[in-house]
Structure 1
Amino acid sequence: MIKILTTAAMALALVAIPATGGAQTQTGTPVASGDAVAYGADAGEYTPAGFALRGRAEVVQGQNRLRADSINGFVTAGDLRRVEASGNVYFVTPDQTMRGDRAVYTLASNEVVVTGDVILTQGQNVLTGGRLVYNTRTETARMEGTSNGRIRGVFYPQNSGN
């Protein structure tokens, strides 16, 4: 059972990595792709179609973390294709925090789609909306409006030193 859950956690680690290889974040900090993977949940299971972590599910690698009430991974032909997190979802990188009701990470496109009362923070800056598409490779984000079609944000300019 430990080997099976370790395999599932290794696959989940892909979610916690905002880029691959020797890439760096905007602050020049190397990405944690070679770091150990820690995970926890109240319960977990593995099947040939994927895996599930339930109850305070969390996967941590380096400074990156995915946390939700439940995290499911979907495997096709032995490869992890998609990870879905639901309930109190948090995806945290060294520079940003994304919060929503649900998230779907598609490995082929490097996109995390967070929906439902989405909040994206970076430092003091805050952006809210109904749907966020975040690319883990390029670290770019696109926010779409809520049911009323609007996004909202508060941004604090950096002091240029002048």
Structure 2
Amino acid sequence: MSHPLLSLVLACTLAAAPLAARAQGATVAFGGLQQDTSLPVEIQADQLAVNQADGSATFTGNVLVGQGEMRLSAGEVRVEYGPEGGSIERLHASGGVTLANKAEAAESVEAVYTIASGQVVMTGDVLLTQGQSALSGQKLVIDLKAGTGVMEGRVQTVFQPGGSVGGGAGSE
């Protein structure tokens, strides 16, 4: 390689290095998934098992959870109630989880939704679609109150011309 060509290749490689590092974690906006976490949580399922010993309930078979405009579907959802048994603290969803609202949807193997904080942690082969754009990774942490999230674990994305993922994947 000639010296000018080597310099160009080296410059391009160094310029791309910060982008590769950022690909490990991407911050994205979730305007469509912003949610009022004080709204009632509705659950539908084929079956319900209640465990009085640990204060939990497990819904199985075509589980659909609704809160406002947000929908979560899964094969199984375990509900953890608060110390007084009246309020829901956490939802543990597994068996092919989909979280959707308006034009945004996220899929994963498992998800944990902590109601009070409005945080949803989705893990295992996570795929986020926003319009025609897609973003994938191994872990997605969504703050429903703020309408933001962070994708982690070998993040990959596909941008459609004229579209964007959350107004700037990889932006901080």
Fold shared by both chains (TM-score > 0.5): yes
SS in 2 for 1:137: coil
Residues in 1 aligned to 2:67 and 2:114: alpha-carbon distance in whole angstroms: 18
Does 2:59 correspond to 1:43?
no
May I ask how many residue pairs the two structures share in their alignment? 127
Higher relative contact order (CA 8 A, sep 6+): 2
Does 2:126 correspond to 1:109?
no
Which residue in the other structure is 1:30 paired with?
Answer: none
Aligned sequence identity (%): 34
Residues in 1 aligned to 2:119 and 2:68: alpha-carbon distance in whole angstroms: 20
Structure 1 unaligned residues grouped into runs of 5+: 1-16, 23-32
Aligned CA RMSD, in angstroms, stands at 2.4
User: Based on CA coordinates, which of the two structures has the bigger radius of gyration?
Assistant: 2
Structure 2 unaligned residues grouped into runs of 5+: 1-32, 165-172
2:89 to 66, 78, 81: 81
**Structure 1 pair 21–84 and aligned structure 2 pair: CA distance change class (3 A):** closer
Residues in 1 aligned to 2:42 and 2:91: alpha-carbon distance in whole angstroms: 17
Which residue in the other structure is 1:155 paired with?
Answer: 159
- 1:74-153 alignment runs, 5 A limit: 74-78=80-84, 79-145=87-153, 150-153=154-157
Per-residue deviation at 1:124? 0.5
Residues in 2 aligned to 1:142 and 1:119: alpha-carbon distance in whole angstroms: 12
1:67 to 73, 83, 91: 73
Which residue in the other structure is 1:11 paired with?
Answer: none
Residues in 2 aligned to 1:21 and 1:57: alpha-carbon distance in whole angstroms: 19
2:36 to 3, 13, 20: 20
TM-score, length-scaled by structure 1? 0.69
Residues in 1 aligned to 2:97 and 2:81: alpha-carbon distance in whole angstroms: 21
